[in-house]
Amino acid sequence: MPDITVTLPDGSAKSVPAGSSVRDVAFAISPRLAAAAIAGKMDGVLVDIDRAVHEGVSVEILTDRSPEALHVLRHSAAHVMAEAVKDLFPTARFGIGPSIEDGFYYDFDVDTPFSPEDVAAIEERMREIVAEAKTFSRGELDRLEASDAFDGQPLKQELIAELPEGETISIYAQGNFTDLCRGPHVPDTSCIKAFKLMKVAGAYWRGDSTRPMLQRIYGTAWFSAKDLDAYVTRLEEAEKRDHRKLGRELDLFSFHEEAGAGLPLYHPKGARVLRLLQEWLRGVLYERGYVEVITPHIYKADVWKISGHYENYRDNMYFFEIDEGDGRVNEYGIKPMNCPGHLMIYGDSMKSYRDLPIRMSEFGTVYRHEMSGVVHGLMRARSFTQDDAHIFCTPEQVHAEVMGMLDLVAYVNGVFGFEYSAEVSTRPEKSIGGDEFWENATQSLFKALDEKGVAYEINEGDGAFYGPKIDIKLRDAIGRTWQTSTIQVDYNMPQRFGLTYRTADNSEAQPYMLHRTIVGSMERFFGILIEHYAGAFPTWLAPVQAVIIPISDRHLEYAETVCGELAADGVRVEVYRENEPMRIKIAKAQQQKVPFMLVVGDKEAEGHLVAVRERTQGDIGQRTLEELVELVRAGRPA
């Protein structure tokens, strides 16, 4: 049998016998690589290690060090969990079981919800399956064969019925379990060395609240017990830092069932932090040539029809009707985005090319119809405020404006010590605008990121309906990633609102519009900061920067004097007036994560001093009030 030639990632060629598999290519490179191989890529597509290669194909071997390897491992673990459920609960109906960030899940339709004891039994059966080193085998069926193979599995039958006519359907089997699956999988179950089932939750079939509620078992899988232990430790740390828990303890905000899910109520301390953030960001924007506007929370539906939201985003909006009192009843929509108002402000007067770019900003509160199952504290709310801005510019100015936004992203994330990367989302299936705009706009984003040296990935088909976008993902103190900033290029919205500007040759042209946020949702960013700092905000952002602790009641008068003087110098300060022992007051200040505790007694009153305790360093000695003010101001962003 003649040899065929395949291409390796470094561009070199490798000859292997016709009929060889990805594993054979790995062996031809190195027997050690073949032993470590868990899957492969053919022309960039993930495949099983035993998939046959063909002439001219590019081949990449995946090991446990490859970026995609955990996805393959976790998807395989989901199949092992499904086999364990089938063994223990033979009448279960099976949904889907994908890998997700940090783990996997599988949805089951069972007669009785899983108990903790059931989950423990499933995990134990999984360990037995792993020990048996069962091979993952791929097969192909036509629609009729697939329907017969999954007789008695209504959820699978529904998925099969939706597949295109004539499409070959791939299945995977291990042990006595067979599933619809595109793959790939690890070679056998023994590769799944470190896993743990985490929790059970209810989940509507296909996310539709009108469909059956299924039992979703979440798990995690890693290539080593060390990695699994590190992940569990991270989860424990994340639980301690949970912004919902700290929000209660630090009296920052609350949620109330009577008010509705995803609608936070900010207490004085939480409102103070949010306002401090906004005031700081507002100053940064003014320095960079932005102007601020304020727009309404509702518009007539006509506006949303012009913008395209009515057609493309209606399911995420809240609509209602108003009787205008003159026989007309108009439909109104609560804004999910701020852009229409900014477009109308731009269009209120004729603009010249000399006026551009116009950088229009707003801390605008928006409302989105999120399903109750995905609402999560401040991280995903139904009401939130965006540090929103829209830049109206000429086509020639787009690149410089995107570069300026990336500079702003770097500055803001640098203040908080966040490392970050980017993701470029391209044209979705449901979109508006011509091919030329989409291509040019997408390439402009790639070019800006390349010039700034920002690492990025491509998220195919996940752009906004009106244009491609850059999403910034920052990494917090315990290694989690959060999506915050977004930069979007839009030629369609100005067109829909009929916006123009007068060019140098006195003709009219249409501006480009750049949508951007830097911290994104203020609520979400607030939640991220709470968890990033474990509630111990940097001094410049702390709602209370210092508390004054009188040693006894006779020192209360001096404490009040100190409070007044520090407040006059801009320090956010409180006096602990309660008749409690000093150690209790210090413990309370520590629990509230106040940066400075100022103890005052006879010596301090005589010398007009304060004895300073810093929340992490402890006692740092006596200071004058002027020195204390300098300590508080240190670290404030430039």
Spatial separation of the C-alpha atoms in residues 287 and 273, rounded to whole Å: 22
What is the chain's length?
638
386 catalytic? Reply is yes
User: With contact defined as beta carbons under 8 Å apart, do 406 and 452 qualify?
Assistant: yes
| Active-site residue, from 179, 387, 388, 471 | 388
| Active-site residue, from 71, 134, 216, 469 | 469
469 catalytic? Reply is yes
- How far is residue 480 from each of residues 21, 66, 105, 383, 474, measured CA to CA in Å? 37, 19, 19, 24, 8
| Active-site residue, from 153, 174, 215, 386 | 386
Let me know how many helices (H) and strands (E) the chain has, helices first: 20, 33
| Active-site residue, from 86, 185, 368, 427 | 368
| Four-CA torsion 367, 372, 376, 379, nearest 10 degrees | -20
User: With contact defined as beta carbons under 8 Å apart, do 189 and 130 qualify?
Assistant: yes
Please, what sign has the CA dihedral across residues 147, 150, 155, 160? negative
With a CB cutoff of 8 Å and minimum separation 6, the contacts of 465 are 308, 312, 313, 428, 430, 431, 432
196 catalytic? Reply is no
- How far is residue 234 from each of residues 219, 380, 491, 586, measured CA to CA in Å? 15, 21, 43, 29
User: For 205, phi and psi rounded to 5 degrees?
Assistant: -60, 120
51 catalytic? Reply is no
181 catalytic? Reply is no
The enclosing H or E element of 271 equals: helix 268-287
E strands within 136-224? 137-141, 169-174, 177-180, 194-204, 213-222
| Four-CA torsion 205, 206, 208, 210, nearest 10 degrees | -40
Spatial separation of the C-alpha atoms in residues 47 and 195, rounded to whole Å: 23
Amino acid at 303: V
Spatial separation of the C-alpha atoms in residues 177 and 631, rounded to whole Å: 65
CA atoms within 13 A on the CB side of 211: 14
> Quick check: helix, strand or coil at residue 584?
helix
User: With contact defined as beta carbons under 8 Å apart, do 88 and 37 qualify?
Assistant: no
**Known catalytic residues?**
339, 368, 386, 388, 390, 469, 515
